[in-house]
Every structure is written in structure tokens, then in C-alpha cells.
Structure 1
Amino acid sequence: MLTMTLAEKIVDEVKKVLTEEIIIAQTNGTIIAATDPARIGQFHEGAYLTSFEGQKRILTKDDEQRMKGVKAGINLPIYFKQEVIGVIGMTGNPIHVSPFGEILRKMTELLIQEHEFFLETETDERQLEAFVFDWLHLPETAIDLTEKAARLQLDVNMQRVVVLIDCHDESFMKQDQYKKVKEMLHLTHQEMIVRWGHARFLLMLQTSANDRDTLQQRLFHIHAALTARSTSKVLIGAGKPAAGQMMKQSFHQAFRALKMANADTPIVFDEDLTLELFIEEVSQETKEVFLDRTIVPLLPYPELVKTLRVLMTSDCSLKYTAEAMHVHINTLHYRLKRIQDLTTLDPKRMQDAMLFYLALMLLDHHPNNRSKQPDIL
């Protein structure tokens, strides 16, 4: 309960408000923290007697001569759950330091209670994280979901959606920030949040198949709140509503959606993915070959890549593309001809335009960011 680390923390906190010398000892009288490091590990007879008697003990100059390891001052028992777990001592003239005695003890006990609450909270969170991990990864026959959920007072048959959030900011994983995020989310007792790796959260939110608009608005608010707390980008992927063992599917959908999220489209629902579904299934090696056969010859010419992007977002309209790029139509024709010469693909032909569209999508999601152009598709 009263570890050396906790004792050192208490001494550091007390030093902020009191200038007197402080020691903290275990119930056996061994000093485990002190403002004077030389006293750590020494036996303090006064602390031992204080622990045994369970009440404040005043130590005088005479006690220094007849008792081992003591200095004039006061010793106070530290209580937790009505049991003495240690002793805190303050050195000085007993007349001068005694008025601070109750304040010192109360402050110490509050720090211990706060530490214990933190440990209990951490334990609860670890149990929840372990349960969610088992739920989403282990085979149906490997665990009894209902029994484990009952201990956590959760109904696994309730419809929920898995949402993955990548904050790209490790500070969100710190306990104080994590607590603020949980409070900001206003989760119901049947909703969950767990830390899910590097700067990521996994949420299980109550919803239904016909409640997309409400969920979308909620995710917009969550994204705005998290973005306001960090300069890093916040990306969100959402699966489809599910329950019981089908939550695994919602998790994999959320993971796939998160990979498709970017700065321009920070919130992605898996059910909105179409062409991206095929892209996700294609190996990186095949993607590289496809890029080499389509758009790679254009990469040394950023203006041509930009022209292709604008052409795609203008529904392949030459008129709208020229206007959007503020160039003469003849300049646009020249660039398109140049693109055809470099790639043997004609962006004015529907079939070749589809190849370029796919190539730009692959380029935007390339792990090595082969293109520095913004994702406007």
C-alpha cells in the first residue's frame, strides 16, 4: 500500500507547502522517504511506537538521546481504511510544528486515497481493455462473453458500432488527458472507450442500422472536440452496427475505414466505401506495378499531375478544368497531349481516365507518399 515511490511523491508534495524536514516510515519503523536522503533506510523508533499506538507522538530533545533514529518534532500515524499503514514525521520544535500536524496528516491521507483511486481506475480500465480485446479477436468458442460482460455490467447483445480514432498525438494517452476525453464523450453506461495502441482510441457506441444521421452528427462533434485539443490531425473510421460475436466485423470495418480517412475526409464510414474496397484487397506489390504503368512517368511534372486531378474533379469537362486552373483551353489541350505522350494513356478517353482516377487514389494512399500533391479526390 505505502510504497517507496508513493512515499517519495508525498514528501515532494508536502515540501511545496512546508519547509520543515519530513520523513515517512513503514509500520516497522523503517524510513522509506525523507527530505534528507541520508535518513532513508534508517530505523526510526518513534515511528515504530507511533504506528503501534495509532496516535500522534511528540518527540523532544530528550527523546533524541534515548530513542534510536529520532529527531525532535512530531510523528503522526497515516490511516487508510481505518488501518495504520505508515507514519509521517515532521522535525522541529514541537510547540511550533504541532499546529501543522493535522493538516499534514490529512494532506498525506488524501494523497494516498487519490493514488488508490488512480490504481483502482487503472485496474478497471485494464479489465475493460482485456475484455474488448478478447471480444474482437478471440474465436467465439474461446471465451464466454456473457459471463465476462456480466461482471462489467455490459449487455453484449445490444447494438453498437465500433469507431476507431487516430489522434496522431501521444499526449492523449496520458491518464489526465484520457480522463478528459472520456468526460467529453458523455458515454452511456453501455458504451465503451479503450486505448488501442499508439495514439488511438476504440469506441463502442450505441446505435442502430437506421440511425446513421445521429451517429454521424455525434462523430462530427467528437472530431471537432478532439481537434480543438490538439494541433495534430484527428482521423475517424466507423464500422456498421452489430451485436454479440458480429462486433468483430464492425471492428474490421472500422479499421478499414480509418485507413481510408485523410485530412480532407477525416471521418469515414465503411458503408460508404466502394472502389476503396477493391483497393484495400490488392497487394502493395500489385499497386506499385499499376502505378508504374500509369502515373509514375508524370511524377517529375507536378503541373501535369495537378492537371489530371482537376480534370477528374471536373467530371472530365475540359471547359470546367481550364476555368478551374485559370489556363487557356489550348494550354489544357497541350498538357493533356503531353500526358498521353508520357504514359501512352489518353485522359480524354473514358477507359484511360478511369485508370488515371484509380492511380491518383492509390497515389494519395501510398505509404511512402510518392506524391506531395494534396488529396482532392
Structure 2
Amino acid sequence: MELNKQTAQKIVKRAMNIIKNSVNVMDKNGIIIASGDTSRLNQKHIGAVLAIRDNRVIEIDEVLAKKWNFEAKPGINVPINYLGNTLGVVGISGEPDKVRSYAELVKMTAELIIEQQILLEQERWAYRYKEEFILHLLNEKQSLHELKQQAAFFDIDLDLPYVVAIIKLCQSGFGQLQELITYLNQPHFHYHSAILSLNTVAVLITPEQADTQHLNKLLPPGVDIHHYKIAVGANLTNEFKLHFSYKTALTTLNYGQKCFPKRSFYFFEQHQLPVLLNHLSDSWQAEKLLKPLQNLYQQDTNRQLRKTLQQYFLSNCDLSLTSQKLFIHTNTLRYRLNKIEQLTSLSFNKIDDLFIFYLSTFLQPNFRENNNKIV
């Protein structure tokens, strides 16, 4: 541990809020790195050099200061120690008889600030390595047995049935991300989280927490839920459960944002088929399956028929419910479905054709949730 300028400046500021005298902080080489008198910065302090060498308090009166050609001003210089090591010196300018009573107080203030900085650095170190370990868990298909010992070091019990939740900030910003991470890392929560990017965070949760009521608790109080998207991955039992839960959470988030952009919560269990088949989107298999619909895509320039098809499946193929959602008459809906059949040469009455229609609603990027009236 070395005394840096930022910590030294905190010591000077805190001490000078208590006493009126100027305070200096010198590093282990006796160089002034923070001072109430900025003109003294980067100068070597003879009194500090002696205090470090002998590990004792050095008092400088007017006579001694004159003897040293005023290379050090009158005052008291006290070594700053931590765990038996001398890190530097804190000096109080003024006549020794008048500032002696402050010496122990300023020394205590300095050592407390240093201890606090060290503890904060240890916490940052612990979080950084824990975060790296969690990212490793999410991205690697490594044997669970090999990871358990490391996980125990970070207080992560890999025998628990964790699932992965991904929180995305719609209005990304460092302040908002920092607020979220600080909130999640409160000791009483016992959440295990990792930053994925400047606007996404992964959190390990239990299956019991995978509902909207508990997911709301992942966010700081008072925030607008509409500024966040939360996706929950698959609850699996194999030893690569976190890796696959993470992959399904990411895919669920992407699918949910494309097809249901007005929602805040997305669950893999509610969108299993489109999420599991998502990898087909840019494949030759998808191109082959959707070939019969190419004429529909070319003719349906305003996407009215495609939106009708999407709502038809979102309504579980219920004509009445689909008509209500689209604000159209049932006969109009029948006309549109017939038009789709004509353009594609597929039939809603054939199971294979029906499945191709259904696949097209999430394999094609043109489908989006639309709450506007379609006429």
C-alpha cells in the first residue's frame, strides 16, 4: 500500500475542517503530495524525512526552522502507520506548543481515511474478481465440479437452482448503471451480478424469484420500470445450467424487444418455441421454410397481412379474438386470411402449412408488437 495524492488530499481536507492550521501530507520519501498551502507541493520536507527514518514525531520550532534555512516550517510531523508500515507523514504547520494537542487527532484522522480507502479497494477487488468468475460461469461450458471450489470462495452455491435474469437499461448512462450495481450489491440482498455492457447486467436468481413481483425488487426503489427490460432464461437441471440459462435469457430479451417492445418483462417459459428456434433466423433452413411466403412479402407493402397473421397466432387462431384485437369485422379477417393463402399457396387447414405460417411470425424481423389500430 502506497499513499497516493487522492488519499492525501482527502486527509488534508478532512483535517483542515477540524483545525484552522495548514496541514501537509508527505509520502514515504518525504515529498509533499498534498497541502493546505499549494505552493509547497512536490517539495522535500526535511522533518518528514526524519520522521520516516526514525518512525517518531518530529517537532520543528522557529529556531530549528531557521537552522534548516526554513526548508521546513515550524510545526509537528507525525508518521502515518498502517499494519506496522510507515506510509508517510502528516504535518501540522504552527508553533509546536499550540498545535501539539491536534497531532494525535490528525494522525488518527489520516490513518482512518487510509484504512477506509484500503477496505474500499479490497471490496472493489473482491467484486471485480467475483464478476469475472460469474462471466466465466455464464460463457463457458466448464465442468461444474471444477468450478464449485472457486464459487464457494465468492459465496456462490452452485448446487442451488439458479436461473439467469438480464436487466437492460433503455436509457443507458454510467450514473444509472452505477446506481443499479450499487443497489444489487447491498449485503442483505445476496444477489450475484455481473456487468455485461454499459447498459446490461446479468443477475443470478432462484426460480422462486422469477416472477414480476420479485423481479421488480431487482431495481432501485422509485425508478420507472418502463426504463428497463428484464428477461429471465430457462430453468435447467444439467450441469451447464447457467451457461444455457444465460443464452436463453439473451435470446428471450432480443425476441421480446422485437416482438413485444412495450413490455418490461420477458420469460423464456412464455416464449420457448421462438427462443429455441431463434438460431434458425439467418439459416438456409429458414430461407427454405419461408420461401412460399416471398410473394406475400413482396405484395404486402404496408405489412397489413403480416400483422394480421401475427395477431392471428397471438390470439391462438381464435377468429373472434383476432378481430377484436385488430378492430376489424370477422369477415374482413377471413378475407385477409384467404388473401394470405392465395399469395402463398399454403393452407391454414394443413398442419404443415400452418406451422410454416407460425414460424414466419418470429423468424422474420418484420413482425413487431403493434397496439395501433389496423384497418
Could you tell me the TM-score, scaled by structure 1's length?
A: 0.73
Which residue pairs with 1:266 in the alignment?
A: 265
User: Following TM superposition, by how much is the alpha carbon of 1:203 offset from its aligned partner in structure 2, in angstroms?
Assistant: 3.5
Does 2:163 correspond to 1:162?
yes
**Equivalent AA in structure 2 for residue 193 of structure 1:** S
Instruction: Name the count of aligned residue pairs.
Output: 357
Q: Distance in 1 between matches of 2:284 and 2:9?
A: 55
Which residue pairs with 2:230 in the alignment?
A: 235
Preserved CA contact (<8 Å) 1:240 1:253? no
Preserved CA contact (<8 Å) 1:264 1:375? no
Which residue pairs with 2:216 in the alignment?
A: 223
**Equivalent AA in structure 2 for residue 89 of structure 1:** G
Which residue pairs with 1:182 in the alignment?
A: 185
**Secondary structure in structure 2 of the residue aligned to 1:196:** strand
**Equivalent AA in structure 2 for residue 117 of structure 1:** L
Mean Cα deviation higher: 117-126 or 90-99:
90-99
Which residue pairs with 1:276 in the alignment?
A: 275
Q: Distance in 1 between matches of 2:363 and 2:220?
A: 27
- Residues 63-142 of structure 1 aligned to structure 2 (within 5 Å): 63-67=64-68, 69-92=71-94, 94=96, 97-137=99-139, 140=142
- Residues 297-308 of structure 1 aligned to structure 2 (within 5 Å): 297=298, 301=302, 307-308=308-309
User: Following TM superposition, by how much is the alpha carbon of 1:47 offset from its aligned partner in structure 2, in angstroms?
Assistant: 1.7
Preserved CA contact (<8 Å) 2:166 2:250? no
Preserved CA contact (<8 Å) 1:239 1:257? no
Q: Distance in 1 between matches of 2:188 and 2:182?
A: 10
Q: Distance in 2 between matches of 1:79 and 1:95?
A: 24
Preserved CA contact (<8 Å) 1:164 1:238? yes
Q: Deviations over 1:116-149 (max 9, x none)?
A: 1111112222332343444455565899435544
Preserved CA contact (<8 Å) 1:55 1:76? yes
Q: Distance in 2 between matches of 1:129 and 1:165?
A: 14
**Secondary structure in structure 2 of the residue aligned to 1:29:** coil
Q: Distance in 2 between matches of 1:130 and 1:329?
A: 55
> What percentage of aligned pairs have identical amino acids?
21
Q: Distance in 1 between matches of 2:320 and 2:153?
A: 65
User: Following TM superposition, by how much is the alpha carbon of 1:273 offset from its aligned partner in structure 2, in angstroms?
Assistant: 0.6
Mean Cα deviation higher: 252-261 or 42-51:
252-261
Q: Deviations over 1:208-251 (max 9, x none)?
A: xxxx5x2434x642334416464431322223244655544444
**Equivalent AA in structure 2 for residue 344 of structure 1:** L
Q: Deviations over 1:244-296 (max 9, x none)?
A: 55544444344444443445262323586123312333326876894982764
Which residue pairs with 1:42 in the alignment?
A: 43
Q: Which runs of 5+ in 1 are unaligned?
A: none
Q: Distance in 1 between matches of 2:189 and 2:271?
A: 26
Mean Cα deviation higher: 114-123 or 101-110:
101-110
Q: Distance in 1 between matches of 2:355 and 2:298?
A: 17
- Residues 278-357 of structure 1 aligned to structure 2 (within 5 Å): 278-283=277-282, 290=290, 293=294, 296-297=297-298, 301=302, 307-328=308-329, 340=340, 344-345=343-344, 349=348, 355=356, 357=358
RMSD of the alignment, in Å? 4.2
Preserved CA contact (<8 Å) 2:25 2:88? yes
Could you tell me the TM-score, scaled by structure 2's length?
A: 0.73
- Residues 200-211 of structure 1 aligned to structure 2 (within 5 Å): 200-205=200-205
